[in-house]
Structure 1
Amino acid sequence: MASQRILGLGVIAAILISIFSAIYTAMLLNEARENINRINNNINNLSENILRISALASGAISSIETLNSSIRSIERGISSINNTVSSLGELVRASTEPHVSVKYARLFQIAYDGPAKIVRDAEGQKILLIPRTLSAQKDIVSLYTSRYAPDHVIYTPVERVILMSATQVSMILRLEDECRVNIVNTSILGIMWGKQYTWYVPKISDMLDKGVLRDYGPADNPNVEMIIASKPDLVVIYTYAGSPVFRTLKGSGLPVVVDNEYLENSLLGRFEWIKFLAVFFNLDGCAESLFARVESTIDGLRQLISNRAPVESLRPVVAWFSVFGGRIYASSPASYVVDAITMAGGRYAFIDIPYGSVSQELVVSRSQYIDVLIYSTSKEYGPKSIEELAKALSFVKDIKAVREGRVYVFAPTYWQLGTAYPEDIIRDLAKIFYPDIQNLAGWVLRFFEKLS
């Protein structure tokens, strides 16, 4: 009996344990379910937060892009303002740079209008020069083009230039020296030369030999196709009666301008063409200063000569001519030659003869008064001695200057460099006319040679 009670109690205990275990398990499951629900709720909340964050991030990105677009727009505005300010600055700078004046030359003109220059060349062409830095400002270019209706619009400084004459080259070389710039090596493409004469400027001769400077053929028949192919932004030529070169080049659409300095009737008028060339390189101020110094130097020499020979009768009589084909080619009274003779303190022997129409008989009739004879050629093309001159031209043998050994010819450099150095021509002539003048005691003739 006792064992049965014990067994019964054990069964009851086991049942109770099972019931409590079931209840506990149910409680645990309940708790787990609640935890899962909480986790799900948290996940849902997290998802919602992530969505909200994503929306915020998307809005922020859009705002950033809008901000960047605004910044770029502002930068473009600033760039436009900077360009405008730069253009205005260039307008002000170009408008306030030193100008050139034309005092002696008759065959060209230069005027200024703000940053623009209006140039008239020897053929009457109107050339509008605009600073290269303003070339992109179409409104400005259009304004000046409509105002002046030019034959050519050229942007300065020019960068691709073709020249025709040796005197143009010498002017450019002097600008290089005086203005401390490099033009020939950087901006001159070549010269219309055609190997028709010898160069007495070593730098130019060497550059032509090496092909650094191109030879565009002779001045009277240049290679137009070659010139066009070179795409110059400036072609400088000279013209003379009957020459078709100007019409041909202009008809080809080339930016051709005419420099006829050789037709000027004064020494400084010829030299003043250096200003004409200078404006194309934006060297206006430098050219004006250079010209003023040369003019002042010549004025000083004239005063020196005036002190040496204060009255007309003390000044030597000078003949200046050459003979070709039996005809005497004497300088006209209204020529740069007579102007130079006068400035150097001489008296021209044929000042009363219009157009230089001098005969042999006239020379003979005045031979006893001619103190100095400038035979206007060089030894390369003319006499190498007085004896040779007298043999070739018998009518000169009785000229006082021939008898006294005061006969001079051009040095080889005269035609190529003389125009660019008028003060040295005056120094030479003053030394020839007054050999004992003290202030030129050490001066060595540069553009003339004495015949022995």
Structure 2
Amino acid sequence: MNDYLKTLNNLTFERIKNLKLRLAFLYLVLIFFTSCKNEVSNQSEEVIDKNFAHIKYAKGFSIKDYKTYKFLEIKNPWPKAEKSYRYVLIDKENAIKSTFSKNEFDGIIIKPIKKIVVTSTTHIPALELLNTEETLVGFPGTDYVSSKKTRHRIENDLIRELGKNDGINTEVLLELNPNLVVGFGIDGNNRSLEIIKKSGIPVIFNGDWVESSPLAKAEWIKFFGVLFNKEKEADSIFNTIEKNYLEAKQLAQNIKNKPTVLSGAMHNDVWYLPNGSSTEAQFLKDANVSYLWQDSKGIGSLQLNFESVFVKAKDADIWLSPSNYNSLESLKNGNSQHAMFKAFQNKNVYSFNNTNGESGGVLYYELGMTRPDLVLQDIIKVCHPELLKNYSTHFFKPLK
């Protein structure tokens, strides 16, 4: 009996040993196949062009190119945004085969885009530079559009009026049925855009205006480049703008005499002028002028009383961008104290407010963000006229 139990125990031990070996083998096989599966999956998700749409200055968006789709992330659509927005750009054929869920992304954009709605005049120059302006079918506030090319399309009823940006006529927009709406917002609360999204039309936020430097804002042309499969064209256009800007900046660095510069104007007993870290102040720094508030910190506007401005800038050589005043008379009528400044008395006051489109839109607000090279060259021409003798300004003109 004892021998029998001993034999049985030995057999049980061998069976358990064999079972453990089999389980270990199966476990290794499972790991192997899982690894292979993950490797294939990872390979299909690998970025196929790591240098695709290289973003040099802009912080607010990124682009990745995968085998069958492109991934666009908007990181900072408005100041203090609490989340980023993720979009897939894919053609119809690959979209049918894909397993993307709308819950995973903030929008799935089917390309090619044949009809688009944009909501800021700053978006229009990018469409024109990329030769895609014919896709624009609607815009809120068409009277603000300055471009002759786009105005011609508006006047021929090829672009519908959509009301105001904060209250878009959704009925007309849904009738147009665009492939995409490019919006912008100051805090993400736009009821019209939410209605449009719920109708199934993708809405994507453009945050170019949030960027902190002129070239960073201009680089958003690459955002439109990826939407229209014109990445190479967008890259080439931006490279030219960058080259022009840096050459103008370098030219200004050689000047020895820096004129002192005042900016802004009085409104309701408050003088608003650019903070030292703002984009406007960056232009003045790159133009190598002595902006009298260049050491202040912040990206918005300074709000000062008249006395503090007058003490510091009464003898300033040049007065740039005196708010929305369009003549020396209107500037004086707005506040008689404006006439006390040396720059006013010498008629060295320059503004972009008088360079308008046919319906009154200010060209600077439309084109200036996309073409900072022209803005910088304008300021250099005004402040250092000897450097650009054959150059005519695009935006800034002396107040008369």
Tell me whether 344-353 or 157-166 shows the greater mean CA deviation. 344-353
Tell me whether 166-175 or 249-258 shows the greater mean CA deviation. 249-258
Instruction: Give the one of 212, 216, 221 matched to 1:265.
Output: 212
Contact conserved, 1:364 with 1:396, CA < 8 A, in 2?
no
Contact conserved, 1:99 with 1:288, CA < 8 A, in 2?
no
Aligned equivalents of 1:432, 1:420: Cα separation in 2: 21
**Structure 1 residue 300: Cα displacement:** 1.0
Contact conserved, 2:180 with 2:202, CA < 8 A, in 1?
yes
Q: Which amino acid aligns with 1:117?
A: K
Contact conserved, 1:110 with 1:120, CA < 8 A, in 2?
yes
Instruction: Give the one of 224, 227, 234 matched to 2:170.
Output: 224
Change (3 A) 1:246 1:358: farther
Residue by residue, what CA displacement relative to the aligned partner does 1:61-105 show, whole Å, maximum 9, x if unpaired?
xxxxxxxxxxxxxxxxxxxxxxxxxxxxxx9xx956972122222
Q: Which amino acid aligns with 1:175?
A: L
Partner of 1:130: 90
Instruction: Give the one of 104, 109, 113 matched to 1:154.
Output: 109
RMSD: 2.5
Residue by residue, what CA displacement relative to the aligned partner does 1:347-373 show, whole Å, maximum 9, x if unpaired?
322223444122211210112452221
Change (3 A) 1:127 1:322: farther
Aligned equivalents of 2:92, 2:391: Cα separation in 1: 44
* Mapped pair 1:171 → 2:121: no
Q: Which amino acid aligns with 1:450?
A: P
| Identity over aligned pairs, percent | 24
Matches within 5 A, 1:195-344: 195=142, 197-241=143-187, 243-309=190-256, 314-344=257-287
* Mapped pair 1:108 → 2:56: no
Aligned equivalents of 2:295, 2:254: Cα separation in 1: 26
Instruction: Give the one of 311, 332, 345 matched to 2:288.
Output: 345
Instruction: Give the one of 359, 375, 378 matched to 1:428.
Output: 378
**Structure 1 residue 259: Cα displacement:** 1.0
Partner of 2:11: none
Aligned equivalents of 1:249, 1:445: Cα separation in 2: 40
Listed as ranges, the gaps of 5+ residues in structure 1 are 1-90, 177-182
Contact conserved, 2:253 with 2:287, CA < 8 A, in 1?
no
Partner of 1:395: 337
TM-score with structure 2 setting the length: 0.77
Contact conserved, 1:316 with 1:433, CA < 8 A, in 2?
yes
**Structure 1 residue 147: Cα displacement:** 12
Partner of 1:184: 133
Residue by residue, what CA displacement relative to the aligned partner does 1:197-245 show, whole Å, maximum 9, x if unpaired?
4432222222212211111222121111222232221100110245434
Rg comparison, structure with higher value: 1
**Structure 1 residue 320: Cα displacement:** 2.1
**Structure 1 residue 133: Cα displacement:** 5.4
Q: Which amino acid aligns with 1:226?
A: V
**Structure 1 residue 441: Cα displacement:** 0.8
Aligned equivalents of 1:276, 1:424: Cα separation in 2: 21
Partner of 1:451: 399
Aligned equivalents of 1:215, 1:387: Cα separation in 2: 35
Aligned equivalents of 2:91, 2:317: Cα separation in 1: 53
Change (3 A) 1:133 1:149: same
TM-score with structure 1 setting the length: 0.69
Contact conserved, 1:367 with 1:398, CA < 8 A, in 2?
no
Aligned equivalents of 2:258, 2:103: Cα separation in 1: 50
Tell me whether 238-247 or 160-169 shows the greater mean CA deviation. 238-247
Aligned equivalents of 1:247, 1:362: Cα separation in 2: 45
Contact conserved, 2:351 with 2:396, CA < 8 A, in 1?
yes
Which structure's residues are more often helix, by fraction? 1
Q: Give the SS at the match of 1:229.
A: helix
